[in-house]
Amino acid sequence: MPAPNPPNPMKTMQVVYRVAGAASEIEARARAIAVEQSIEMPPGAVRNERVMREILGRVEDISDDGAGHFLVTIGLALETTGGEAGQLLNMLFGNSSLHPDLELVDLVLPGEGGPYFGGGPRFGVEGLRRLCGAVGRPMTATALKPQGSTTAELARLAGIFARAGIDVIKDDHGLADQGSAPFAERVGAIQAEVDRANRETGGRTLYAPSLTGGPRRLLAQLSAARNAGVRAMLIAPMISGLGALQELAGEGLPILAHPALAGSARLAPPLLLGKLFRLAGADAVIFPNHGGRFSFAPDQCLALAEAARRPWMGLAAALPVPAGGIHLERIEELLAFYGRDVMLLIGGALLEAPDLESAAQDFVERVAAAGSRT
Amino acid sequence: MPAPNPPNPMKTMQVVYRVAGAASEIEARARAIAVEQSIEMPPGAVRNERVMREILGRVEDISDDGAGHFLVTIGLALETTGGEAGQLLNMLFGNSSLHPDLELVDLVLPGEGGPYFGGGPRFGVEGLRRLCGAVGRPMTATALKPQGSTTAELARLAGIFARAGIDVIKDDHGLADQGSAPFAERVGAIQAEVDRANRETGGRTLYAPSLTGGPRRLLAQLSAARNAGVRAMLIAPMISGLGALQELAGEGLPILAHPALAGSARLAPPLLLGKLFRLAGADAVIFPNHGGRFSFAPDQCLALAEAARRPWMGLAAALPVPAGGIHLERIEELLAFYGRDVMLLIGGALLEAPDLESAAQDFVERVAAAGSRT
């Protein structure tokens, strides 16, 4: 393999893998990863000079990570992604996901990476706050459940939540386009109910329906949602595609990204949910909170929240949305833990309260009160 | 939790998870999975009788799988998927993917499941054979590489492969819509070259470009491919969405499914690549062959191939396509291993041969010869 010239650093991204293996073999393994994630063929058989110089991945760093693991940094040409978020994921981990000895842990993009992928969140933390009139405080969210409910039942719930002043009401991610509450019917009825509540209270609750399906179905749902006056959307990028998130982010509505299927990967959650979902345009990123039904550790939750909202290539901050079995008694603890730039998502705990209306009001008031103290 | 009535078995799918845990806790854990993958809220708070009876998942079986693991079978209502393949994946593993203690290992659908999801492969093994004039024999495939090549370079390669009589030429899955060979330009030039070769030889080589991107981009690529006279497509369903595969399957062209990002999941490959890709309409399923660059075991490869092609709900068989570092000397061994209903995909090994033309011809002739002996 001839030694390639140094790349233009403005055009290279650094991809960091954690690889299991022996020290004696890690250099060869690192080179194999660099090939697999770029030209995917024997380098000796490449006849195009430019491909060898600019496209072939190169090993930029190998460092011992302890316990028989190494952190391997591969430089890949930004142009191989074509600026498309799904293809970015393909370049980062497409074939290497099929190898059990490595995890994808981080990505460093050059400054031009932000605009190249579309500019990230169009609303972000401050945009969502502005839309909901939630300036200077943490935000509240809840979910319409369970799947199998009728449209009327879901709309009634939405009305209660909106009258209580919850900032964002999203479809449960299990609501798709089922017979029990077909998408267009459901979304129209719920948005109408939320609009009615907003008019009554002077509030600005957003409703985010869950968009699902292949290209034609997704676009038809987008169109139906617009016609219903919807002003936010929910999508699960690991099911519908990171590319779908990227396209929807350009539609002028804020987007919540759901982590369904995201946990099955050997793909670090702070990178996937925090950085990549944000890069592809998610304005708010839902993730499993620590101490609930899921097993994310507090450190991991905080790392994810920080990845979503810290300064990065001039992109707007995405709002971290911890969720998954949060009980009402944890509101103050979690706001202290995450800080003010957060949206707490409480679903089941509201629904099982003896008095739904007052539980929802309690949620809203305590978040506002805790926020004014931070 | 009130005891629900037995479900109509025609409307329930059985989902099998392998769960790590203690015998004393497995029943509670199984019930928690059944809730998480259906109503996703405390059952005691559900007020709709029908939801409790027909939508709430139920534990149908728990069996000891040895070494601190259990096989847990959950019955889920088929209607929760709305017949949409992405939502099926969401129901099978959306939130549970976020739990590290379980893997998704199998799915049993009622007979009506086939048509409900669109009917599976529209061409399948026999349809692909018919299109390529490959009746009664194994098939051959190769890939256009490397990414970063110019359109002219890729078209030249395609011409050589088509003249050698390779049945299917696919884009490398790293080819998307990059500046080095933009989709519409590349696909038009390659299809024209393949058409020219077919006219010269009387052959019927198919070219399958890689379709990528979110909904609008994917549909624009589909349209450009049609305009270029393309008669097959490649898609990576775990990147673009299983729902995108399902929709593309209805477009009248055979589809190869690529496993990019599919290996990162705790989701058994025979289920994901064999059954679910087939159910969503893949006519051919590419997977990492044993003994190549990837670590799939021979048993796993065979289980995957069988899942793709054995009789299932009346669906057409999908063609198994082992790939990933297959060398020419393994042709006879692999045809003996997989049998006649297979398509061998050899990419890099052809490209590094001293004489590409004769290596490609050798590939075609030896597959035909081995096939006539089976």
Q: Which residue of A has its CA nearest to B147?
A: A39
The per-residue b/e assignment along A163-199, b for 16 or more CB within 10 angstroms, e otherwise, is bbbbbbbbbbbbbbbbebbebbebbbbbbbbbbebbe
pLDDT at A319 over 90: yes
pLDDT at B374 over 70: no
Of the candidates B97, B148, B174, which has its C-beta nearest A262's C-beta?
B97
Q: Which residue has the tokens 């994921």?
A: A89
Residues of B in contact with A147 (CB under 8 A): 38-40, 51, 55, 80
The answer to whether B82 and A176 are in contact (CB under 8 A) is: yes
pLDDT at A366 over 60: yes
User: Which tens digit of pLDDT belongs to each residue from A171-186?
Assistant: 999 999 999 999 999 9
Sequence-distant (≥ 6) Cβ neighbours of residue A50 within 8 angstroms: B148
**Tally of CB atoms within 10 A around B211:** 29
Rounded mean pLDDT, B276-297: 91
Of the candidates B94, B100, B240, which has its C-beta nearest A295's C-beta?
B100
Instruction: Give the whole-angstrom CA distance, residue A237 versus residue B284.
Output: 25
pLDDT at A193 over 60: yes
Rounded mean pLDDT, A79-86: 95
Per-residue pLDDT at A292: 82
CA distance A266 to chain B (A): 6
> In degrees, to the nearest 5, what angle opens at C-alpha B201 toward C-alphas B198 and B205?
35
Confidence of residue B2 (pLDDT cuts 50, 70, 90): very low
Residues of A in contact with B150 (CB under 8 A): 48
CA distance B135 to chain A (A): 31
Rounded mean pLDDT, B293-301: 88
Sequence-distant (≥ 6) Cβ neighbours of residue A263 within 8 angstroms: A269, A288, A294, B97, B98, B99, B100
Q: Which residue has the tokens 């051919």?
A: B284
Of the candidates B90, B244, B264, which has its C-beta nearest A241's C-beta?
B244
Question: If we measure between CA atoms, which residue out of B200, B211, B127 comes closest to residue B162?
Answer: B200
pLDDT at B8 over 60: no
Q: H or E stretch including B335? A: helix B331-338
Position B163, amino acid: R
Distance of CA A127 to the CA centre of its chain: 17
Q: Which of B53-67, B84-98, B101-115, B262-276 is the least confident region?
A: B262-276
Say whether A179 sits in a helix, a strand or coil. Answer: coil
Say whether B208 sits in a helix, a strand or coil. Answer: strand
Which CATH architecture does the domain made up of A9-116 adopt?
2-Layer Sandwich (3.30)
C-alpha distance from residue B247 to each of A214, B125, B212, B256, B269 (Å): 6, 20, 14, 14, 22
Instruction: Give the whole-angstrom CA distance, residue B292 versus residue A280.
Output: 34
The answer to whether B169 and B158 are in contact (CB under 8 A) is: yes
Instruction: Give the whole-angstrom CA distance, residue B134 versus residue B137.
Output: 6
Per-residue pLDDT at B6: 42
Rounded mean pLDDT, B307-311: 96
User: Which tens digit of pLDDT belongs to each residue from B44-83?
Assistant: 999 999 999 999 999 999 999 999 999 999 999 999 999 9
Query: Across the interface, do B236 and A148 touch by the CB < 8 Å criterion?
Result: no
Sign of CA dihedral A221, A222, A225, A227: negative
| Long-range CB pairs of B359-365, under 8 A, 24+ apart, other chains included | B359/B328, B360/B142, B360/B160, B360/B161, B360/B164, B360/B166, B361/B164, B361/B165, B362/B328, B363/B140, B363/B142, B363/B164, B363/B166, B363/B328, B363/B331, B364/B140, B364/B164, B364/B165, B364/B166
Q: Which of A43-57, A247-261, A325-339, B253-267 is the least confident region?
A: B253-267
> A5 burial class (0-12, 13-18, 19+ CB within 10 angstroms)?
exposed
User: Which tens digit of pLDDT belongs to each residue from A28-70?
Assistant: 999 999 999 999 999 999 999 999 999 999 999 999 999 999 9
Per-residue pLDDT at A147: 95
Instruction: Give the whole-angstrom CA distance, residue A287 versus residue A296.
Output: 9
**Token pair for A112:** 């031009």
Confidence of residue B267 (pLDDT cuts 50, 70, 90): confident
Chains A and B form CB pairs within 8 A to the count of 309
**Tally of CB atoms within 10 A around B140:** 28
Of the candidates B55, B239, B352, which has its C-beta nearest A148's C-beta?
B55
CA distance A44 to chain B (A): 7
Residues of A in contact with B39 (CB under 8 A): 145-148, 174
Mean pLDDT over the full length of chain A: 93
Sequence-distant (≥ 6) Cβ neighbours of residue A230 within 8 angstroms: A187, A191, A207, A208, A209, A253
**Token pair for A126:** 């401050």
Instruction: Give the whole-angstrom CA distance, residue B327 versus residue A244.
Output: 37
Per-residue pLDDT at A10: 54
Confidence of residue B370 (pLDDT cuts 50, 70, 90): confident
Q: Which fold has domain A124-373?
A: TIM Barrel (3.20.20)
Confidence of residue A9 (pLDDT cuts 50, 70, 90): very low
**Tally of CB atoms within 10 A around A320:** 27
Instruction: Give the whole-angstrom CA distance, residue B143 versus residue A113.
Output: 29
Position A80, amino acid: T
The answer to whether A328 and A349 are in contact (CB under 8 A) is: yes
Position B296, amino acid: F
Per domain, the residue ranges of chain A are 9-116, 124-373
Per-residue pLDDT at B16: 95
Per-residue pLDDT at B264: 62
Per-residue pLDDT at B11: 87
Helix (H) and strand (E) counts in chain A: 16, 12
Per-residue pLDDT at A371: 74
**Tally of CB atoms within 10 A around A27:** 13
Confidence of residue B201 (pLDDT cuts 50, 70, 90): very high
CA distance B211 to chain A (A): 10
Of the candidates B219, B296, B347, which has its C-beta nearest A41's C-beta?
B347
Per-residue pLDDT at B371: 74
| Extended beta strands in A119-186, E state | 139-144, 168-171
C-alpha distance from residue B160 to each of A224, A372, B154, B168, B183 (Å): 48, 70, 10, 13, 20
Instruction: Give the whole-angstrom CA distance, residue B168 versus residue B363.
Output: 13
Q: Which residues pair with B59 in a beta bridge?
A: B74
**Tally of CB atoms within 10 A around A103:** 20
Query: Across the interface, do B93 and A261 touch by the CB < 8 Å criterion?
Result: yes
Residues of A in contact with B240 (CB under 8 A): 86, 241, 243
First to last CA, chain A: 57
Q: H or E stretch including A322? A: strand A319-323
Sequence-distant (≥ 6) Cβ neighbours of residue A147 within 8 angstroms: A172, A174, A175, A178, A180, B38, B39, B40, B51, B55, B80
Q: At what angle do helices A151-164 and A356-373 cross, to 10 degrees?
A: 40
Query: Across the interface, do A239 and B90 touch by the CB < 8 Å criterion?
Result: yes
Question: Which of B147, B211, B356 is the best mutation test for A, with the most CBs of A within 10 A?
Answer: B147
ipTM: 0.92
Confidence of residue A370 (pLDDT cuts 50, 70, 90): confident
C-alpha distance from residue A22 to each of A51, A59, A104, B294 (Å): 30, 17, 18, 18
Instruction: Give the whole-angstrom CA distance, residue B371 versus residue B112.
Output: 35
CA distance B171 to chain A (A): 12
Per-residue pLDDT at B294: 80
Q: Which residue has the tokens 């349809």?
A: B127
